Amino acid sequence: METLVTHKVEFRDLPGIRYKNAWDLQTELFGSIVATKMKNRNLPPEEQEPTNNYLLFCEHAPVYTLGKSGFVENLLLNNAALKEKDIDFFHINRGGDITYHGPGQLTGYPIFDLENFYTDIGRYLRNMEEAIILTIAEYGLKGGRIKGLTGVWLDGDDPQKARKICAIGVHASRWVTMHGFGFNIKTDLQYFDHIVPCGIKDKGVTSLEQEIGPVSMEEVKQVVKSKFAEVFGLEYV
């Protein structure tokens, strides 16, 4: 079985894809990995196939997504207001509460078979955070974590200043992952005014541009891609 383990990852950049289309694609890729794993269970080792890994980079039209453990009360707009503002809303199967995705935000979906890496969801979440922490360090920002909360924060040790720059929420089954992170690069932060982001009432949100001024979306995406490769030991194909 050792020979089947692979850190090869198929990378896809999908700017402008609507959330529902990306969710459908994630579901399809997730299902293909699970199907390979189930098939392998009934085959001798010499006939088994390695599972694929994928990393999708997306930039969505405005959308709010609510995790399976979230509270719809954290969405502060009714259906009429959502329609008026042309914002989609989906109740989805990731962990966590409500968040926003939209233009200027890099939304990343690692669809990994963690048995190719390590079977530890906590370590997986911390490594996703680490890739973003290393990214913003390239722009002179010190990112960190807050105990008990996922995501990447600035001034996380100061309750009065703490603000989130990257939200994280995942779903995993049979050690296969989907969903991922939302990294605010040039995001219009006013959209967060209509939700209680991640269900956390006493902390704010920010973006890379808010912190340091104008940045290149394409440049930052390449940095994130390289930091994911560094942290997870990926080989892009």
Catalytic positions, please? 198
Residue recorded with tokens 């969405």: 75
The single-letter DSSP state of residue 47 is G
152 near 165, Cβ under 8 Å? yes
Indicate the SS3 state at residue 153.
strand
Q: Report the alpha-carbon distance of residue 16 to residue 187 in Å, rounded.
A: 14
Residue 192 neighbours by CB under 8 Å, 6+ apart = 100, 205
CA angle 198, 141, 62 (to 5 degrees): 40
In angstroms, the Cα distances linking 33 to 7, 27, 38, 118, 181 are: 14, 10, 9, 16, 20
- What gap in Å lies between CA 190 and CA 61, rounded to an integer? 15
Q: How far apart are CA 75 and CA 176, in angstroms?
A: 29
**Residue 46 neighbours by CB under 8 Å, 6+ apart:** none
Residue written as token pair 């891609």: 225
For residue 67, which of 155, 151, 154 has the smallest C-alpha distance?
151
